[in-house]
Chains A and B, each alone.
Chain A
Amino acid sequence: SQKIEQNSEALNIQEGKTATLTCNYTNYSPAYLQWYRQDPGRGPVFLLLIRENEKEKRKERLKVTFDTTLKQSLFHITASQPADSATYLCALASGAGSYQLTFGKGTKLSVIP
C-alpha cells in the first residue's frame, strides 16, 4: 500500500539554526511532491512544489530536495525563527492525472528563542 512517512513527530531547534524535516514514501511514483505548513486550528498553507526532474528548489529561507531513487524529500528552514513554529506536512498526488493529495502525518516544529 502507499505510504508517506514523516519520521519525526516533533522537532525542537534553537532559533537561528537550520531545521531539517524528512519525508519518505513507498509505492508512489510521483511526478511532484509538495510541502505545506499548518498552524493550530487552521487549514494547510502551500509552501513549495518540487518536480521529479528537480533536485532542489528554494524559496527565501526554505529549501526542498527530492530524491526519487531514495524516495525521499528533505525540507530545510535556514535561520529559523520562532514564527516558523508550526506543523509541516509532506503531500503527494494520489494518482496519475489527479490533483487529489495524500498527506503525511506532519512534523511539529518548535523554534526556541
Chain B
Amino acid sequence: GAVVSQHPSWVICKSGTSVKIECRSLDFQATTMFWYRQFPKQSLMLMATSNEGSKATYEQGVEKDKFLINHASLTLSTLTVTSAHPEDSSFYICGGGPGEKLFFGSGTQLSVL
C-alpha cells in the first residue's frame, strides 16, 4: 500500500502558540489529503480536505483561520494549529491515497498546556 509520513508524532506546547503538523506522501502524488481529528474513545472526525494548489475545504464548525492548511506540492500537506488552546488538544491524523483506499499517517498527539 501507499505510505504517508506524518510528523511530529507528539507535541506539547503552551497555550497561545502555533503548531505545524506535516504530512508527506512518500510513494504517490497526493492531489488531495484529508485531515481528521480524534478525541479519546471517539471516532475520526473529518476537519478539512486539503487540495494541491488550491484552497482547502473545511467541514462545518471547523475554523479555517485557526486550522491553516497548506498543500503547495503533490507530496506535502501541512496543518497549522494557530493560537492553540487546551481544547485543541487531540490526536490529528492525515490520510490520502492514489485511489479509493486511504492510507494514514501515524498521527500527531497534540497537548496544549
Interface residues of A (CB under 8 A from B): 32, 34, 41-46, 49, 89, 91, 93-94, 99-106
Contacts and interface: CB of A to CB of B under 8 A. Distances in A.
Nearest to A90: B43
B84 interface: no
B43 A99 contact: no
Contact of B104 (A44, A93, A102): A44
B102 A99 contact: yes
Interface residues of B, number: 24
A102 B42 CA distance: 13
B46 A100 contact: yes
A46 B91 contact: no
A1 B104 CA distance: 26
B43 A43 contact: no
Interface string B59-96: 00000000000000000000000000000000101010
A105 B106 contact: no
B106 to A, nearest CB: 5
B101 A43 contact: no
Given A103-B43, A105-B42, A43 B34 contact: no
Given A44-B44, A44-B95, A32 B107 contact: no
B25 interface: no
Contacts of A103: 43-44
A67 to B, nearest CB: 20
Contacts of A32: 100
B104 A99 contact: no
A105 B105 CA distance: 19
Contacts of B43: 89, 103-106
A89 B99 CA distance: 19
Given A43-B6, A49-B101, 5 more contacts: A32-B100, A44-B93, A44-B104, A103-B43, A103-B44
